[in-house]
């Protein structure tokens, strides 16, 4: 009796200790994770990778059963394939997305496939924590979509997921195994998700810095969207509270938002307020943009302001060359271009000024 009790105690201790170990995946299937960013949205897939293991020609429709099947374990009598091995294959979307044109909320989902060689059903389930598909319940489906399997030339030994056909706003997720691929497309409204992220993050510690409010307002101005709220963000960026009252960048962003709203006179007034706070680089590039837009007189005034604050420097001499060129005075422009060429800090700038000199000598505008 004592020996039996002792043996049971050893077995219990062994099982308990074993449960605490990190062990190889069941069936020697490889654990894997793949992730891709689409805009600010992160798509992450966690799965296990079964191998073909000399079962060529017997994977799809056999190892991967067709449709829904009774797997002989668990409550589900009509289970799809687990889209991998072992635990649930899971897919996480950090923001709301569109999957094959259908909306799907941010979150983590169990991913299943009801395979059919002509048109498979892909299932995103709210149950992402069960083992395999033994506990699959259609009442937990968040989304079902259709996808056509695609034959491939090259055989994939270990099942894998990868992102293909990427664009700034989308990517195709491809489940690949043996000689078939099942693809589905994920689309993201990048502008909408970015603005939603700004609204959320500006309520946290990011809201204490003018740079955060400025970045949010600048994004809206660049994309010509959400402009009324962007103007409020620009007001916060230029406020005493956030510390941006003497930031050229913050004031110029506010001017850009006003300009996008069609309030051009107000935008010009705000830019005049910004000018005293500009550093040598900010003033140069602002004036350069004016010159490029053929606002020669305004560009020259800014280049001259920059030069007066930082006389006889490489960038301000280059600016004066651009400024006089914008006014059509190529002779004076050439004088400053020659000075800037002699002060060029590196070969790329020296080459650029060399081109300026030649262009001005030919009597042509360098802007």
Indicate if the alpha-carbon torsion angle 233, 238, 243, 248 is positive or negative: positive
**Residue ranges per domain, the chain?**
25-188, 189-278, 281-367
pLDDT of res. 9: 43
CATH superfamily membership of 189-278:
Tetratricopeptide repeat domain (1.25.40.10)
Asked whether the beta carbons of 128 and 82 are under 8 A apart, the reply is no
Beta-sheet strand order (sheet of 150-167): 102-104, 97-99, 170-187, 150-167
Separation between Cα atoms, residue 60 and residue 56, nearest integer Å: 9
pLDDT in tens, the chain (367 residues): 444 444 444 334 444 444 556 666 666 678 999 999 999 999 999 999 999 999 999 999 999 999 999 999 989 999 999 999 988 999 999 999 999 999 999 999 999 999 999 999 999 999 999 988 999 999 999 999 999 999 999 999 999 999 999 999 999 999 999 999 999 999 999 999 999 999 999 999 999 999 999 999 999 999 999 999 999 999 999 999 999 999 999 999 999 999 999 999 999 999 999 999 999 999 999 999 999 999 999 999 999 999 999 999 999 999 999 999 999 999 999 999 999 999 999 999 999 999 999 999 999 999 9
CA distance 175 to 159: 7
Q: What is the pLDDT of residue 278?
A: 95
Helix/strand/coil (H, E, C) string of 244-283?
CCCCHHHHHHHHHHHHHCCCHHHHHHHHHHHHHHCCHHHH
With a CB cutoff of 8 Å and minimum separation 6, the contacts of 241 are none
- The confidence score (pLDDT) of residue 11 equals 37
Under a CB-based contact definition with an 8 Å cutoff, are residues 313 and 336 in contact? no
pLDDT at 17: 46
CB 60 within 8 A of CB 188: no
pLDDT for the residue numbered 29: 74
CB crowding 123-154: b at 16 or more within 10 Å, else e: bbbebbebebbebbeeebbbbebebebeeeee
Provide φ and ψ at 90, rounded to 5°.
Answer: -120, 150
Task: Please provide the DSSP assignment of 150-219 as one string.
Answer: EEEEEEEEEEEEEEEEEETTEEEEEEEEEEEEEEEEEE--HHHHHHHHHHHHTTTGGGGSHHHHHHHHHH
Alpha helices in the chain (DSSP H): 2-20, 190-201, 210-223, 227-237, 248-260, 264-274, 280-292, 296-309, 314-327, 330-343, 347-361
What architecture is domain 281-367? Alpha Horseshoe (1.25)
* Residues facing 160 on adjacent strands: 176
What is the model's pLDDT at position 6? 41
pTM of the model: 0.80
């Amino acid at each position: 009796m004592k020996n039996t009790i002792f043996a049971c105690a050893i077995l219990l201790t062994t099982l308990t200790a074993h449960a605490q170990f990190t062990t190889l995946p069941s069936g020697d299937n490889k654990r894997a994770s793949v992730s891709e960013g689409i805009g600010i949205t992160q798509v992450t897939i966690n799965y296990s990778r079964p191998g073909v293991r000399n079962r060529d020609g017997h994977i799809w429709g056999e190892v991967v059963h067709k449709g829904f099947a009774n797997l002989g374990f668990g409550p589900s009598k009509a289970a799809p394939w687990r889209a991998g091995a072992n635990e649930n294959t899971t897919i996480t979307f950090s923001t709301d997305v569109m999957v094959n044109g259908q909306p799907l909320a941010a979150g983590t989902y169990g991913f299943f496939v009801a395979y059919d060689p002509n048109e498979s059903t892909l299932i995103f389930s709210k149950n992402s924590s069960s083992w395999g598909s033994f506990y699959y319940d259609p009442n937990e489906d968040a989304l079902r979509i259709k996808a056509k399997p695609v034959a491939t030339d090259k055989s994939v030994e270990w099942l894998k997921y990868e992102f293909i056909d990427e664009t700034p706003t989308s990517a195709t997720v491809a489940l690949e195994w043996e000689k078939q691929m099942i693809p589905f497309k994920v689309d993201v409204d990048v502008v909408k998700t970015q603005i939603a992220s700004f609204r959320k993050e500006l309520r946290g510690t990011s809201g204490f810095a003018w740079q955060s409010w400025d970045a949010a307002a600048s994004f809206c101005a660049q994309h010509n969207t959400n402009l009324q709220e962007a103007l409020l963000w620009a007001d916060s960026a230029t406020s005493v509270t956030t510390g941006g009252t003497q930031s050229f960048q913050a004031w110029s962003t506010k001017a850009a938002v006003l300009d996008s709203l069609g309030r051009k006179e107000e935008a010009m007034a705000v830019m005049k307020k910004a000018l005293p706070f500009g550093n040598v680089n900010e003033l140069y590039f602002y004036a350069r943009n004016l010159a490029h837009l053929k606002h020669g007189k305004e560009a020259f005034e800014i280049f001259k302001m920059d030069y007066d604050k930082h006389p006889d420097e490489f960038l301000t001499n280059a600016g004066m060359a651009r400024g006089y060129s914008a006014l059509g005075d190529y002779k004076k422009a050439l004088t400053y271009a020659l000075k800037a060429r002699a002060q060029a800090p590196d070969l790329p700038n020296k080459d650029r000024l060399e081109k300026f000199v030649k262009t001005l000598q030919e009597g042509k505008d360098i802007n």
